[in-house]
Structure 1
Amino acid sequence: MRYLIDAIIRHGPMVKEFRLAPEGGAPLPPWQPGAHVELEFISRAGASHRNAYSMVGEEGGMLRIAVQREEGGRGGSRVLHDEFESGMTLEVSPPLDAFKLHVGRTRTVLIAGGIGITPMLPMARALDAAGASYRLHYLARDAERLVLADDWTKFNPERVQTHVTATQGRPDLAGLIGPWEEGCELHACGPSLLLEAIRAAATAQGWPQQHVRFESFGARAHDEDGPLQVVLRQTGMTLDVAPGKSILDAMIEADVFVSYECKRGECGNCYAGVVSGEPLHRDVCLNAQQRAMGMTPCVSWARGPLLELDL
């Protein structure tokens, strides 16, 4: 469906909020806290982009999303920041509920890293409305990255705690999460390294995996990644995969039959056994035993030059 950009609001040096109105005055579709939409657009240079963004909320019949400008990645966020203005249109998917809120009977812990605050805001509003016990922890490198302050400062101050790592140091994640007890739920959104640390801290305190839910963002490619030759044992195919391209995308382009869903290393649906090679795990869903035997090719890489998968 086409949406009109009604307004663009800057939040700090790196984030712009887009307020989008369905064309023709149509109402916004129903959605749940944690949902995201996918935007389709074309750059001035003719490159096609499809980017997913969490729904921050609604305002006057308009959908709110926040886009952080990323210098790396495939350039979609830069195109939105640099080339799109109020009055232009975007193709927007229906809301997708891949990161659902589970309200804890005892307490609910929300942890956001940087722009990861976006899905946490509607979650916190829903918890407020339900009278549930919760705590929102908002982590950022510096104060100017604590964006969307007009939203989270409306909550009871006792429910929200900010952590600026440049001045306060790294927070005690174990202390923020607390020990597991029946009726607790944990939701976290942020860069993969933060989520990996959160998962380790939660596991150490006895949290069952099914009560810890993640949504990640940011590029998984690292500067030191080298080219890979990926051998698929069952199909007999060999794929040359360049850094910056996911192994999963290379398999999809080669018409390899492979199961996948989130493509963000969160669901484990694309899990593949490793026959040989040294994986560099960048997922946020596999446990140590699973990592010892396989990997998620949607986000993970390997020390080159050769990786053999049981596919």
Structure 2
Amino acid sequence: MRYLIDAIIPHGPAVKEFRLAPLGGAALPPWQPGAHVELRFEARSGAGHANAYSVVGEVDGRLRIAVQREERGRGGSRVLHDEFAPGMELEVGAPRDSFRLHPGAVRTVLIAGGIGITPILPMARALDAAGADYALHYLAHDRERLVLAGDWQALGAGRVRTYATGVDGRPDLQALVGPWREGCELHACGPVALLEAIRAAATAQGWPQRHIRFESFGARAQAQDRPLRVHLLQSGMTLDVAPGASILDAMIDADVFVSYECKRGECGNCYAGVVSGAPLHRDVCLTPAQRAQGMTPCVSWAATPELELDL
């Protein structure tokens, strides 16, 4: 569906909120807390982009999303920040509920890191409106990166705690998560390093994995990544993958039969057995036992120049 950019609102040094109105006065499609939509657009250069962003909320029939400018990303966020203005149009896909809220019967813990506040806010609003017992912990490097302040400040008194980790250091995550009790649920969105630390803190306190739900963001590529040659055992194919690219995307481009869904290392649908090579795991979904046998090629890389997968 085509949407008009009705307004763009800056939040801090690197985030802009886009308020999007369906063309022709159409009603917004229904969406659930934690949903995201895919924006499809072209840069002035003609390069096409398809970027997914969480729904922050809606106001006066307009959909709210927030875009953080990623200098090391694939360019889509920079294009939205630098080339798009109110009055321009975008193609917006239907909302997808891949990070659905599961309210805890006893308690719900919400943790957001940086721009990871975007899917967490509508979850907190829904819990607040239902009178549920919940706590929202919001971490950012400094105070000016605690964005969308008007939204989280409007939540119930005492429900939200903020942390400027660059000044005060990272808080005690075990204290934030709390011990496991039947009827508790944990939802967190943020960079992979934070999510891994949250998982470790929760696991140490007895949380079952099925009650821990993550959504990650940010580029997985690292500056030290080197070109990778991937051998596919069953397909008999060899693929050369450049740093910054995705092994999964390279396989899709080569018409390799492979299942996938999220492309963010969160669902495990693209899991592939590793025959040889040393994978660098950058997912947030696999157990240690699964990592010992395979990897998620959507986000992970390898420490060795060659990698063989059982595909």
Structure 1 length-normalised TM = 0.99
Cα separation, 2, equivalents of 1:171 and 1:250: 39
* Counterpart mapping for 1:18-167 below 5 A: 18-167=18-167
CA RMSD of aligned residues (A): 0.6
Cα separation, 2, equivalents of 1:118 and 1:76: 18
Alignment coverage as a number of residue pairs: 311
Aligned match of 1:179: 179
3-state SS of 1:65 partner = strand
Aligned match of 1:246: 246
Aligned match of 2:282: 282
Gaps of 5+ in 1: none
8 Å CA contact retained: 1:229, 1:239:
yes
8 Å CA contact retained: 1:265, 1:296:
yes
8 Å CA contact retained: 2:263, 2:298:
yes
1:200 corresponds to 2:200: yes
- Following TM superposition, by how much is the alpha carbon of 1:204 offset from its aligned partner in structure 2, in angstroms? 1.1
8 Å CA contact retained: 2:277, 2:307:
yes
Cα separation, 1, equivalents of 2:176 and 2:241: 40
Encode CA deviations 1:63-119: one digit per residue, 9 max, x unaligned.
Answer: 000000000111000000000000000000011100000000010000000000001
- Following TM superposition, by how much is the alpha carbon of 1:156 offset from its aligned partner in structure 2, in angstroms? 2.1
- Following TM superposition, by how much is the alpha carbon of 1:157 offset from its aligned partner in structure 2, in angstroms? 3.1
- Following TM superposition, by how much is the alpha carbon of 1:14 offset from its aligned partner in structure 2, in angstroms? 0.2
Encode CA deviations 1:27-79: one digit per residue, 9 max, x unaligned.
Answer: 10111000000000000000000000000001111000000000011100000
Identity %: 77
- Following TM superposition, by how much is the alpha carbon of 1:210 offset from its aligned partner in structure 2, in angstroms? 0.7
Q: Output the amino acid matched with 2:207.
A: W
8 Å CA contact retained: 1:138, 1:146:
yes
Aligned match of 2:300: 300
3-state SS of 1:157 partner = coil
- Following TM superposition, by how much is the alpha carbon of 1:203 offset from its aligned partner in structure 2, in angstroms? 1.0
Structure 2 length-normalised TM = 0.99
8 Å CA contact retained: 1:280, 1:303:
yes
Cα separation, 1, equivalents of 2:296 and 2:169: 31
Cα separation, 2, equivalents of 1:276 and 1:200: 27
3-state SS of 2:239 partner = strand
Cα separation, 2, equivalents of 1:237 and 1:182: 48
Q: Which consecutive aligned stretches of 4+ in structure 1 deviate over 4 angstroms post-superposition?
A: none
Cα separation, 2, equivalents of 1:221 and 1:50: 18
8 Å CA contact retained: 2:216, 2:266:
yes
Cα separation, 1, equivalents of 2:242 and 2:157: 47
Cα separation, 2, equivalents of 1:166 and 1:109: 23
8 Å CA contact retained: 1:227, 1:304:
no
- Following TM superposition, by how much is the alpha carbon of 1:168 offset from its aligned partner in structure 2, in angstroms? 1.0
Cα separation, 1, equivalents of 2:178 and 2:24: 48
- Following TM superposition, by how much is the alpha carbon of 1:159 offset from its aligned partner in structure 2, in angstroms? 0.5
Encode CA deviations 1:160-197: one digit per residue, 9 max, x unaligned.
Answer: 00011011111111110001110000000001111111
3-state SS of 1:116 partner = helix
Cα separation, 2, equivalents of 1:66 and 1:235: 41
* Range moving further from structure 2, 39-48 or 301-310: 301-310
3-state SS of 1:200 partner = helix
Cα separation, 2, equivalents of 1:272 and 1:175: 35
